[in-house]
Structure 1
Amino acid sequence: MRLPIGFRVRIRADVRRIDRRLLVGGSPLRAVRLTDAALARLDDGEITVVDAATEALAARLVDGNLADPVLSGAAVDPAGLTVVIPVRDRPDQLDRALAPLAGLHCVVVDDDSHDPDAVEKVARSHGARIIRLPENLGPAGARNAGLRAVRTPYVAFVDSDVTVEASTLLALSRHFADGRVALVAPLVRSRARSRKPRWFERFDEDDSSLALGTRACVVRPGAAVGWLPSACLVGRADRLGTGFEEAMRVGEDVDLVWRLVEAGEVVRYDPDQVAWHDTRTTIRGWLGRKYLYGTGGADLAVRHGRKGAPAVMTVSMAATAAALMVHRRWSLPIATAGIAYGTLSLRRRLPETPERDRLAVQLCAQGLGWTVRQEAALLLRHWWPLTVLLAPHSALVRRALAASLLVDVVVAQVDNPGTRYRPLARRLDDMAYGAGLWAGAVRARSITCLLPRRPGRRTGQGGTSPNG
């Protein structure tokens, strides 16, 4: 058994229970009808593994993001975890990274620093092992060099500009009570180190590209969390294979996660645990990093096809959302027809229940809202060069652009409640990332990374797409 006897999972608070036996939620969205046997094993919203049947039920609910594990067990022995920190210069940041990791085995991999002695001095002062590389391999190669030196069952990868407590890494290791879990990551928040943080640093603190939300998740393409940043990861050393793809200077973390998922491994995101990433201290460094992230999209598309599509939507919901965003006289009848079609489509696919009609309407509205959000992001972020090119010549594009800007304000407040909306920073962030995405597409001679994809009619076993 991969889940031990006594392992518990709890139905998520955001999952709707209809007629007691129908669960609607998860990520991707799905509807699962519980059998009488499964219902009998559900105790106050929890399943406890006592045999093969309860193990299968618990695993299915967790894998569908309908339930989360109850992490009541102990963490791994600190002696069984090695922390690998790749670094190139930046001894001050390295010193901050190593300080909270006292008590853990640490391996610092010097990726051909200009001043290797300064790096070694800091590493030695914290009792860390130092590995010097004779040439610069990049983050992926440096992490792999550290991984090859690991002799413990578990390994953590922590970037030199990240601070995370040893207790946080050990808390993440509790996920390995599930024998299927190969990799887990915390929420990575940004923190400005400047005495007086500038506007773009404050924006990054509120809206970091590395912060993937506050919803725990099994990570896979198409789920609420589809990738993990390599800024902070904890994994089973023997399940990571050869580690990161060294030919990739960006996107190597996404590639690793997707390869693990393809191999049948389970990857988890745990936002209850937090690591802190230093913000960039210059506008050039901040925008340069966003641009670099964008360039990785094309390489990921070459390796993984449409998994990293910038949007996932059905044709009917895409047309409905577009009609609403251009708000013309003909928008209402088109939107009405699209909503009716989506509702009927969902109704046919939902299990028989007295609340099926109302549920179909709710799910269709939810899918439409998500599609509007995605189309706004396409116009403002992924496709902004086309938006700028076409807007002067098309009233429809200008209307859609105006709607997208309004949607962006709403999304910012929903995703980061209580934070200040910074339109300049958001637009520069979008433009830098989008420019990198297009540059990567041109270099790869492929537009795959720019194209939305349609969801499958089934998003998982027993699943239903939220887009209708």
Structure 2
Amino acid sequence: MTATGPAESALPLGFGVALDRRVRTLDDGAVLIGGAPPRLLRLSDTGRRLLANGRCTVTGRESGALVRRLLDAGIAHPVAEPASAVPAVAEVTVVVPVRDRAPELARLLAALPDGLGGLVVVDDGSTNEGAVRAVAEAGGATVLRHPSARGPAAARNAGLAVATTPFVAFLDSDVVPRPGWLAPLLACFADPAVGLAAPRIVALPPVEPLPPVGGLLAAYEAVRSSLDLGPDPALVVPRSRVAYVPSAALLVRRSAVGAGFDERMQVAEDVDLVLRLHEAGWRLRYEPSARVAHDHRTTFGAWWLRKAYYGTGAAPLAMRHRGSVPPMVLSPLSAAVGALTLVGTPRAAAAAVVVSAVAAERLSRKLPVRRPRQAAARLVAAGVVGAVAQTADAVTRHYWPVSLAACLLSRRARRTVLAVAVTEGVLDWWRHRGRDPAARPGLLGHLLAHRLDDLAYGSGLWWGALRHHTVEPLRPVGTGLATDRASANRRAAETAVRQG
């Protein structure tokens, strides 16, 4: 369903990038550590000179090759694009799938910018067709209708099929674009190899006070929604920090997406599209300076069922794209540290330190840097943090039924699971509590909602695996083996800092 990869990847003159804030430099800037997935990248003398002060602009062939390399590694992100290379608003058609929700549709259409190249509303089997049609036509939209509901993928595809502009923006009816949302997304397409760009999905503030449970869930979703991928730009790459983007709001290059979403998928069709585009060679970007607000669910039943529903998508994804959406990515180091973490004794902690030290020493012999032990220590430390995080997710989210069974059989398991659940929840609150200054969730409320979130997703994950008669979404994957010296050095660095 997806077209072939980009025919052109040369960047225009004046295209500029800056290093990701997480990137670390060694050897006076000759070695960069970071990216998606994390890696070690060595620069030539020319490359180091071109990347002065952590920025580089395309001025010719050499700088263009360096910028492309940095972008494709996820080590740098665009910060400047020549105006002549950025598509215009008139080159965009907005497609809105909707089923009923006429007031929400009116709210969305009122927030769209002037000068669009097209606006298509696809009524996916609404029970009140007249209300939806009246709102859509009042907003100047072309209206398509499915007599019976066929799902959001089919609705989006119907709009995609009639669009005549080079770019199509998909917006769900329960979102409200913030002013200026479209310009940063269009700027991403100054890179001719970009096939998809996604904004940050933030919380739409409630219009009236919520009851206690609704208020707790609203505060949690404002800082921890599955749709909000954080404040930092990213290259969207499987098994990395930003491994997918939600279809609540997307801008795509029409020539990249072919026929669009797979209509056989009722859930996770957006992740499937991302994976297919990535496999075809298109670059995908997450641009958080573009913001679209989402009307999050705040009643407990609807919220919990939606989280579980997301979990059911893991099975069809794992069967279609084996190894791309694993619950854990295990290197020998992360497997050992994770197992020792679960033992939870002083001896196990000491053993984890020894294992990490040995791994750092071995890695230092493979790294082409002046201070290999220092670099290896950084890499292994990051890997240990990732291993502990993966282990906590495994205990409380992906494999919680296994954790529950262990708790029923062992007092030590009960203590371990409780310690992991509380510690991980507190750290999660600390990391995310400031994402939305208007929300500021309390610690106990966040901890409770976070644990319920994990239970819901894990329930959907296991239900989807049973329904599809597969263990693929439950199967961890390894980091693989390198086949030559150059890739061995790169793989060693990737393995050491792999995040689950």
TM-score for the superposition, normalised by structure 2: 0.89
For 2:100, the aligned partner's letter is D
Matched to 1:88, the amino acid is R
Match for residue 89 of structure 2 among 78, 83, 92: 78
Query: What is the one-letter code of the residue matched to 2:61?
Result: A
2:9 aligned with 1:4, yes or no?
no
Supply the distance in 2 between the matched residues of 1:223 and 1:461 (Cα, whole angstroms): 19
Listed one character per residue, the Cα deviations across residues 264-315 of structure 1 (whole Å, up to 9, x for unaligned) are 0000001121111101142111111111100000000110012100121213
Other structure's SS at 2:425 match: helix
Q: Which moved more, 1:233-242 or 1:249-258?
A: 233-242
Match of 1:17 in 2: 25
Aligned equivalents of 1:149, 1:167: Cα separation in 2 = 26
Q: Which residue of 1 aligns with 2:425?
A: 408
Q: Which amino acid aligns with 1:11?
A: L
Give the drift of 1:52: 2.6
Q: Counterpart amino acid of 1:18?
A: L
After superposition, residues 48-127 of structure 1 pair within 5 angstroms as 48-74=57-83, 75-103=86-114, 104=116, 105-127=118-140
Distance 1:32 1:329 in 2: 37
Deviates most, 445-454 or 230-239: 445-454
> Do the aligned partners of 2:184 and 2:289 also contact (CA within 8 Å) in 1?
no
Structure 2 counterpart of 1:32, one-letter code? L
Report how far residue 461 of structure 1 moved.
9.3
1:466 Cα deviation from its structure 2 partner = 4.8
Question: Is 1:445 aligned to residue 469 of structure 2?
Answer: yes
Q: Does 2:496 align with 1:467?
A: yes
Residue identity opposite 1:178 in structure 2: D
- What's the RMSD between the two structures over aligned residues? 1.9
Unaligned stretches of 5+ residues in structure 2: 1-8, 435-439
Matched residues in 1 for 2:430 and 2:125: separation?
Answer: 43
Listed one character per residue, the Cα deviations across residues 83-124 of structure 1 (whole Å, up to 9, x for unaligned) are 000000011111111111141231100001111111011111
Task: Provide the identity percentage.
Answer: 39
Once the two structures are superposed, what CA deviation does each residue of 1:134-160 show, in whole Å capped at 9, x if it has no partner? 221100000000000100011100000
Structure 1 57/461 Cα, relative in aligned 2: closer, same or farther at 3 Å?
Answer: farther
CA distance in 1: counterparts of 2:489 and 2:275, whole angstroms = 19
The structural deviation recorded for 1:166 is 6.3
1:167-186 aligned at under 5 Å gives the runs 167-186=180-199
State the alpha-carbon separation in 2 of the partners of residues 194 and 439 from structure 1.
35
Q: Give 1:59-458 correspondences, 5 Å limit.
A: 59-74=68-83, 75-103=86-114, 104=116, 105-165=118-178, 167-197=180-210, 198=214, 199-353=216-370, 355-405=371-421, 406-417=423-434, 419-421=441-443, 422-456=446-480
Does the Cα contact within 8 Å between 1:322 and 1:372 map onto a contact in 2?
A: no
Tell me if structure 2 keeps the 8 A contact 1:291–1:433. Answer: yes
- Structure 1 runs not aligned, ≥5 long: none
SS of the residue corresponding to residue 478 of structure 2 reads: coil
- The change in CA–CA distance for 1:461 and 1:190 in structure 2 (over 3 A counts) is farther
Shift of 1:336: 2.7
Q: Is the 8 A contact 1:322 1:400 kept in 2?
A: no
Alpha-carbon separation, structure 1, partners of 2:311 and 2:341: 29
Once the two structures are TM-superposed, the CA of residue 57 in structure 1 deviates from its matched residue by 1.2
TM-score, structure 1 normalization? 0.95
CA offsets per residue over residues 8-61 of structure 1, 9 Å max, x none?
Answer: 112223211212211112221111111122123223322222233222211111
Whichever residue aligns with residue 193 of structure 2, its letter is R
**Alpha carbons of 1:460 and 1:124: their partners in 2 closer, same or farther (altered >3 Å)?**
farther
SS in 2 for 1:65: coil
1:248 Cα offset (Å): 0.3
Deviates more, 1:292-301 or 1:444-453: 444-453
Q: CA deviation at 1:192?
A: 4.3
Cα separation, 2, equivalents of 1:69 and 1:460: 29
